[in-house]
Amino acid sequence: MEVHPHIEQKVKEAALEQKGIMLLFETKDLALAAYLRMMGLEIKKIFKPRDKVVFSFIDTPKRKELIDDYFAGKARVDPLVYKDTLRNLKTYTYNRK
């Protein structure tokens, strides 16, 4: 019997959560990071391995849907809040040593 990949992924995520292992999603895309942040995803870490800043988020079940909406042009946000979130992330990353 074949297990649907979505169900298999959910089982893996649940097993990791029970063990206290946190799943993370990482992106170098500042605009996407600002969108995910304003949609409620928690940034766990921001780091700069070389010349690019990486935003590491605590992964949630809604993350994939948010990203799909973002790239499909379906994301609806307050432009002023988005601008402020983007500016805050940018300022934070440039002021880090």
Can you give the pTM of this predicted structure? Answer: 0.75
Domain ranges of the chain: 23-95
- Is pLDDT at 18 greater than 80 in this prediction? no
Q: What is the pLDDT of residues 43-55, one digit of tens each?
A: 999 988 887 899 9
Is the sign of the CA dihedral 65, 5, 27, 54 positive or negative? positive
